[in-house]
């Protein structure tokens, strides 16, 4: 009887160890690439809590309020594929790895633009856009925003439809980072849209 109980205890212990090992491994994979300082900054800007950390199938780090669906993650990857393709066409070589990037997905402060078209955007302080066409009374609506260059990160708004727009926003925000690392002169000319110009910058 004692040996039988000992055997059962050993089996249960092995199952427990295996379960804990799996949990630790999954947790480590889920939070790969998380940067506490970057998360704090993103939360200060958007007012969100980014409690979910995951990755696209290509390896882009994604931080979100709730777990994004596979279709959203795929749309992010498609945006980077297009970005890297056009960057290589220009002879750029730096920051062309999916793993270089973190994308924050924040709550949209609006889902329709002034014309009533679907346009999930984030409200940001007007800053250099104050008094311009974009000024909405001390703030502007933006489809995305570069958060940091090292690590390379930007914020986009949550989408429930028109996921092709996610791909476009990823490509457009990524253009600023690509230019920062590959063509500083063009980056300086195009970083501030208040002076004119828009996306796509690279064709």
Task: Identify whether 200 is part of a domain.
Answer: no
Q: Give yes or no: residues 5 and 103 share one domain.
A: no
Please write the tens of the pLDDT for every residue from 85-95.
999 999 999 99
pLDDT at 138: 77
Q: Give yes or no: residues 71 and 18 share one domain.
A: no
pLDDT at 133: 62
pLDDT at 193: 74
pLDDT at 74: 98
Name the residue with tokens 């279709």: 71
pTM: 0.80
Residue 164, domain CATH: 3.40.30
Q: Give yes or no: residues 51 and 142 share one domain.
A: yes
Residue 112: enclosing H or E segment and its boundaries? strand 110-112
Burial class (CB in 10 A: 0-12, 13-18, 19+), 76: buried
Please write the tens of the pLDDT for every residue from 107-148.
999 999 989 999 999 998 877 777 666 767 777 888 999 999
Q: Give yes or no: residues 138 and 54 share one domain.
A: yes
Token readout for 140 is 């502007």
């Amino acid at each position: 009887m004692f040996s039988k109980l000992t055997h059962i205890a050993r089996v249960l212990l092995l199952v427990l160890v295996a379960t804990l090992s799996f949990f630790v491994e999954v947790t480590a994979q889920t939070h790969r690439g998380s940067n506490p300082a970057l998360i704090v900054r993103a939360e200060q800007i958007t007012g969100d809590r980014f409690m979910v950390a995951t990755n696209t199938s290509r390896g882009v780090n994604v931080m979100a309020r709730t777990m994004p669906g596979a279709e959203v993650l795929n749309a992010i990857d498609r945006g980077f594929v297009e970005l890297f393709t056009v960057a290589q066409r220009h002879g750029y070589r730096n920051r062309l790895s999916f793993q270089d990037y973190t994308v924050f997905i924040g709550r949209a402060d609006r889902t329709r633009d002034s014309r009533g078209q679907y346009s999930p955007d984030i409200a940001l302080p007007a800053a250099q856009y104050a008094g311009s066409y974009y000024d909405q009374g001390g703030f502007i609506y933006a489809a995305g925003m570069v958060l940091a260059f090292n690590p390379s990160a930007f914020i986009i708004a949550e989408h429930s439809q028109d996921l092709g727009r996610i791909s476009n926003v990823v490509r457009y925000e990524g253009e600023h980072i690509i230019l920062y690392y590959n063509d500083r002169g063009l980056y300086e000319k195009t970083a501030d849209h208040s002076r004119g110009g828009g996306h796509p910058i690279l064709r």
